[in-house]
Amino acid sequence: MANRLARETSPYLLQHADNPVHWWPWSEEAFEEARRRDVPVLLSVGYSACHWCHVMAHESFEDQATADFLNSHFVSVKVDREERPDVDAVYMEAVQAATGQGGWPMTVFLTPDAEPFYFGTYYPPAPRQGMPSFRQVLAGVHQAWTDRRGEVTEVAGKIVQDLAGREISYGDARAPGEEELAGALLGLTREYDARHGGFGGAPKFPPSMVIEFLLRHHARTGAEGALQMAVDTCERMARGGIYDQLGGGFARYSVDREWVVPHFEKMLYDNALLARVHAHLWRSTGSGLARRIALETADFLVRELRTAEGGFASALDADSDDGTGRHVEGAYYVWTPEQLREVLGDADAALAAQYFGVTEEGTFEHGASVLQLPQHEGVFDAERVLSVRERLLAARAGRPAPGRDDKVVAAWNGLAIAALAETGAYFDRPDLIEAAVAAADLMVRLHLDDQGRLTRTSKDGRAGASAGVLEDYADVAEGFLALASVTGEGVWLDFAGLLLDHVLTRFRDEAGSLYDTAVDAERLIRRPQDPTDNATPSGWTAAAGALLTYAAHTGSAPHREAAEHALGVVKALGPRVPRFVGWGLAVAEAYLDGPREVAVVGDGELRRAALLGTAPGMVVAFGEEGSEEFPLLAGRPLVQGRPAAYVCRGFVCEAPTTDVGRLRDAVR
């Protein structure tokens, strides 16, 4: 069996199962083979929705001559970064330290002991713009391994030693206070793009976790500047090309600072985070645009990413067939004026071009435009626009669709569970709550073993081989906790507690520092540990949030203390790099506010008023008098036979109220 990927569960690995390269999955057997043959290891890391991963695969890994050289002189290992984030994190740290940048595909050359000695990302098939060809790199590495082995192993040893010394400085292990959070807000203000929304320049990524911090900071302090940055950024994104104006959902990022041209891949995690933050924006402001985007994004998740087993697939590719047999980035989404006329006729095509910003010159490539909303919708006839949108969406459905990565990732499904549960509750969409419950059921049924340990991925109802990492435990717990508040079913609180027990016992050291992998996980050249948020909340900050929420539900001092310790890193990083600890700052806002705990005894309007409260990180428990579903309900009776709400901090409660208006005031 020359290529050993055919039995893997990762769609990315399966895309390479027919390559002439003799790929191995990440395994001890691969490194044993390298030792037996006395050759280095080529580690190639990517993911299925990665455009340049597809390009390099077509140019190099499908090329027989390149494959022959690889097969003769290397053991080639292919890794899906979404399936093995620990492997990706360790070697990406080395790539960034050595080259000052990183990305995917990631190309790393290792000794048979898995020690890295040469690094890169994408390599072209021929020299280009000062970049060597992939064949030149392979020849150079082979020659160095053959002729300068001592130098190679010395470099590898020094790199491993350097990585081992990069433990996180834990600081004073206290949560941020008013000063640090004000400093973080000031730092964000300095980086804010006042003209286009968002932070920094191109490429520009959706800052969902930072927006959550801004909303919570405004809710706690009344800072109007924080709210305005959140409102303006969300509106610019919603009107830009990064948002799918026909089908809903957000692309991964914008290649420009104006949000016009996206990198067209659609990721589950982005859309889960953005659906939730838009729902929270509506909760804070009543914005009709935020409501529409939250619901359309939630509907996109269910319509296009839901799997037959009830979970959510990882991503949609950026590339698709352009109708000529060529896979082209964005082909599914962009339009020319002529294509509009073919679908709509001249009159409606002219309206559509004006409404969606489609020009003769185009805003993308080859005269095509990415659909935007450059003008206010109110100047157009709403019924006519709806008809245009429906006809364009139907016509687009006839195009070759982007490929879907059907891999179910536990952490990202946890984010989707939280988003769908809350969006469904806010907007009276029980179907969205049902979708959240189905995904949570899949996590319990397939990803959770009888000891409460998580498997990171599954596909087609088959669990993968990779152990869950810290973000899996934390984000799935986050989803379960949101589901508990929305459904009133305490079993989800119990499952969250089971996962967080593992966080406390297997992902922390004696000083309280968190690691991305468990103490009993596969040993790599370094135990990965990164508290900074990237495309998703880091495992570290996600764990802080879930631990704090669980403590608010249960009164558990160990969980609250662990959350406080975890927030010590946010205290150190927040004022300096606030864009990279957005979720940690949002959790810190909840910590400073309490967070508040609301127990609603009896059903009715009080329950909805509690769920719509904007107090940062507030938890809600509801049930009938005498219910034992939640600790918060213990000893909370009806008031004169009427439903009542108890607003508490640290299980110390204000006088109960039966008045919806008073409750609304108490939770805002």
In a domain, 1, yes or no: no
Contact (Cβ atoms closer than 8 angstroms) between residue 298 and residue 419? yes
Nearest to 49 by CA among 263, 249, 202, 256: 263
Per-residue pLDDT band at 168 (split at 50, 70, 90):
low
pLDDT digits (tens, 9 = 90+) for 263-280: 999 999 999 999 999 999
In the prediction, which pLDDT does 214 show?
98
Based on the fold, state whether residues 480 and 573 are members of the same structural domain. Answer: yes
Based on the fold, state whether residues 121 and 100 are members of the same structural domain. Answer: yes
In the prediction, which pLDDT does 1 show?
60
Measured at the alpha carbon of residue 393, what is the angle toward residues 203 and 439, in degrees to the nearest 5? Answer: 75
In a domain, 469, yes or no: yes
Distance of CA 210 to the CA centre of its chain: 13
Provide the percentage of residues in the chain whose pLDDT is more than 70: 98
pLDDT digits (tens, 9 = 90+) for 66-86: 999 999 999 999 999 999 999
Based on the fold, state whether residues 618 and 577 are members of the same structural domain. Answer: no
Contact (Cβ atoms closer than 8 angstroms) between residue 53 and residue 79? no
State phi, psi for 627 to the nearest 5 degrees: -65, 140
Per-residue pLDDT band at 223 (split at 50, 70, 90):
very high
Residue 228: half-sphere exposure toward Cβ, Cα within 13 Å: 9
In a domain, 370, yes or no: yes
Based on the fold, state whether residues 432 and 528 are members of the same structural domain. Answer: yes
Based on the fold, state whether residues 529 and 433 are members of the same structural domain. Answer: yes
In the prediction, which pLDDT does 313 show?
97
Decide if pLDDT at 617 tops 90.
yes
Decide if pLDDT at 169 tops 60.
no
Q: Name the 3-class secondary structure at 574.
A: coil
Q: What does the pLDDT average to over 387-398?
A: 96
The domain boundary residue, chosen from 578, 593, 608: 593
Based on the fold, state whether residues 230 and 341 are members of the same structural domain. Answer: no
Based on the fold, state whether residues 428 and 310 are members of the same structural domain. Answer: yes
Decide if pLDDT at 203 tops 70.
yes
pLDDT winner (highest mean) among 154-158, 325-329, 426-430: 426-430
Per-residue pLDDT band at 159 (split at 50, 70, 90):
confident
Decide if pLDDT at 285 tops 90.
yes
**Cα–Cα dist 348/167, whole Å:** 60
Residue predicted with more confidence, 234 or 651: 234
Q: What does the pLDDT average to over 97-111?
A: 88
In a domain, 170, yes or no: no
The domain boundary residue, chosen from 568, 593, 618: 593
Nearest to 499 by CA among 460, 534, 447: 447
In the prediction, which pLDDT does 131 show?
86
Based on the fold, state whether residues 635 and 544 are members of the same structural domain. Answer: no
In a domain, 426, yes or no: yes
In a domain, 602, yes or no: yes
In a domain, 3, yes or no: no
In the prediction, which pLDDT does 511 show?
84
**Cα–Cα dist 329/154, whole Å:** 42
Which CATH number fits the domain that encloses residue 216? Answer: 1.50.10.10
| Helices within 240-287 (DSSP H only) | 268-285
**Cα–Cα dist 74/510, whole Å:** 41
In the prediction, which pLDDT does 164 show?
73
Decide if pLDDT at 170 tops 80.
no
Which CATH number fits the domain that encloses residue 62? Answer: 3.40.30.10
In the prediction, which pLDDT does 69 show?
96
**Cα–Cα dist 312/439, whole Å:** 7
The domain boundary residue, chosen from 536, 563, 593: 593
In the prediction, which pLDDT does 640 show?
92
State phi, psi for 602 to the nearest 5 degrees: 90, 150
Would you tell me how many other CB atoms lie within 10 Å of the CB of residue 257?
17
Based on the fold, state whether residues 267 and 348 are members of the same structural domain. Answer: no
> How many structural domains comprise the chain?
4
In a domain, 328, yes or no: no
Q: What does the pLDDT average to over 222-237?
A: 98
Based on the fold, state whether residues 229 and 156 are members of the same structural domain. Answer: no
Cα distances from 480 to residues 73, 232, 278, 326, 515, in angstroms, run: 48, 31, 20, 43, 22
Q: What does the pLDDT average to over 356-371?
A: 95
Domain region containing 289: 178-318+404-593
